[in-house]
Amino acid sequence: MDYDSVRAVDPAVADALGGERDRQEETLAMIASENHVSEAVLEAQGSVLTNKYAEGYPGARYYAGCAHADEVEELAIERATELWGAEHVNVQPHSGTQANQAVYFAMLEPGDKILSLELNHGGHLSHGHPANFTGQTYTVEQYEVDAETGRIDYDGLAELAESFDPDIIVSGYSAYPRAVDWERIQAVADDVDAYHLADIAHITGLVAAGVHPSPVGVADFVTGSTHKTIRAGRGGIVMCDAEYADDIDKAVFPGGQGGPLMHNVAGKAVGFKEALDPSFEEYAQAVVDNAETLGETLADHGLSLVSGGTDTHLVLVDLRESHPDLTGGEAEDALAAANIVLNANTVPGETRSPFNPSGIRAGTAGLTTRGFDEAAMEEVGDLIYRVVDAHDDDSTIEAVGDRVLELCAEYPLYAE
Ligand code: DSN
């Protein structure tokens, strides 16, 4: 990955790419939505398929010359079907948000009603936030997590569903550390005759590996992104029962997108093949074990975890109790200076601005890909705490940063 061909044409971009490669090697990627794909996935995504237009679906394209595009897309679909067990899969969405858009576009009319989790409580912009097309196109009501337990308030959700009478209930979250009871939400959807969309963007890999309960076969629609815990090419995916297949396919193309990004579909196919290997199950279990260890380490230091722990790949720390004067943004900056990259995040009952909220969110998918085990994760937890607790002490930040560089060298990412 020297980017020699890029350098010959465009040294400025080659410098940026090399800088990013080095940044990833020399920092701990703990943004919970990120991971490190394999060199095989990188190669597929950087392949000649970027040149190809393939509007339509395998065997029914609007352009000539799609034989190899068809092969790749069919493989991606076949493997996704095996990984998640859905009756129908569409692998063309450019992202998780586009996957959600396809479901809304297929099943709702403008003004129809979405019931979803509030963003500060772990939801996602594309679930109905006022700044997003969903909030501006549909009528949105939002449920919350329980203030005491930090877990989905299923009873509150059922009450809201009763009074609001939604057309669709959205489950699946971006900053929710606990396993979701898909059946319970489906029962609520059944009671009010609403569709149920489960957005498993963050936990696609955990669900595929069977280390988190699956909503496939429970919810009407399951969407996800393909580059987070599943570690395949970048993009989105929609899964549904056969009865909705045509509606979803039409909503993806031509409804919401033009030509599929076939190089990314190739990256999805390759990543899905890797995830079908039995070793992926071990990986996914290690991601969850590492998150548990990280959470326990931070809690032992006195940090407060939303919901008290985690069942997934992420922990969400509410800094207000242990460090009332420290914002998530300040913690994020201090940690980044120590080569630990995670993000400031809103927390349930947020009292600050979304631009500088009260929490930090950390995920373990990327470090687990590098080979970090629970002992290493415990040390990472200690390092995070040291920085959080001494966020304005340059010598602590420097010492932690140096130790992180040693850890990165010990667990290299891409072979030279
Ligand atoms: N930006 C992603 C996340 O960090 O959760 C979701 O789209």
pLDDT at 9: 98
**Single pTM value for the model:** 0.97
Closest ligand 1 atom to 175 CA: 5
Residue minimizing CA distance to atom 1 of ligand 1? 33
Can you list the domains of the chain with their CATH numbers?
43-275 (3.40.640.10), 280-410 (3.90.1150.10)
**Is residue 33's pLDDT more than 80?**
yes
- Measured in Å, residue 365 CA sits from the centre of ligand 1 at 14
**Is residue 1's pLDDT more than 80?**
yes
Closest ligand 1 atom to 225 CA: 7
Closest ligand 1 atom to 126 CA: 7
Half-sphere exposure of 7 (CA within 13 A, CB side): 8
Question: Mean pLDDT across the stretch 272-284?
Answer: 98
Q: Is 340 helix (H, G, I), strand (E, B) or coil?
A: strand
Closest ligand 1 atom to 125 CA: 7
Please provide the average confidence, as pLDDT, over all residues in the chain: 97
- Measured in Å, residue 217 CA sits from the centre of ligand 1 at 25
**Is residue 416's pLDDT more than 70?**
no
Closest ligand 1 atom to 96 CA: 7
Query: How many CB atoms are located within 10 Å of the residue 172 CB?
Result: 31
Question: Mean pLDDT across the stretch 288-314?
Answer: 98
Residue of 202, 226, 345 to test ligand 1 pocket, by largest number of atoms within 8 Å of CB: 202
- Measured in Å, residue 23 CA sits from the centre of ligand 1 at 20
Bridge partners (DSSP) of residue 361 are 316, 343
Residue of 174, 237, 343 to test ligand 1 pocket, by largest number of atoms within 8 Å of CB: 174
User: Any residues with Cβ below 6 Å from ligand 1, and which?
Assistant: 33, 96, 174
Closest ligand 1 atom to 95 CA: 7
**Using a CB cutoff of 8 Å and minimum separation of 24, what contacts does 388-397 make?**
388/303, 388/319, 388/323, 388/326, 388/331, 388/334, 388/335, 388/360, 389/301, 389/323, 391/326, 391/330, 391/331, 391/334, 392/334, 396/338, 397/334, 397/337, 397/338
335-368 pLDDT per residue, tens: 999 999 999 999 999 999 988 999 999 999 999 9
Query: Six-digit token pair at 320?
Result: 């207000």
Kind of pairing, strands 168-171 and 195-199?
A: parallel
Residue minimizing CA distance to atom 2 of ligand 1? 33
Residue minimizing CA distance to atom 3 of ligand 1? 33
Q: pLDDT-based confidence at 64, cuts 50/70/90?
A: very high
Question: Mean pLDDT across the stretch 274-287?
Answer: 98
User: Does residue 184 contact residue 153 with C-beta atoms inside 8 Å?
Assistant: no
Residue of 35, 124, 199, 234 to test ligand 1 pocket, by largest number of atoms within 8 Å of CB: 124
**Environment class of 20 (CB within 10 Å of its CB; exposed 0-12, middle 13-18, buried 19+):** exposed
Q: pLDDT-based confidence at 224, cuts 50/70/90?
A: very high
pLDDT at 106: 98
Q: pLDDT-based confidence at 252, cuts 50/70/90?
A: very high
**Is residue 415's pLDDT more than 80?**
no
Residue of 30, 33, 117 to test ligand 1 pocket, by largest number of atoms within 8 Å of CB: 33
**Is residue 247's pLDDT more than 80?**
yes
- Measured in Å, residue 321 CA sits from the centre of ligand 1 at 25
Where in 21-68 does DSSP place strands (E)? 28-29, 56-57, 60-61
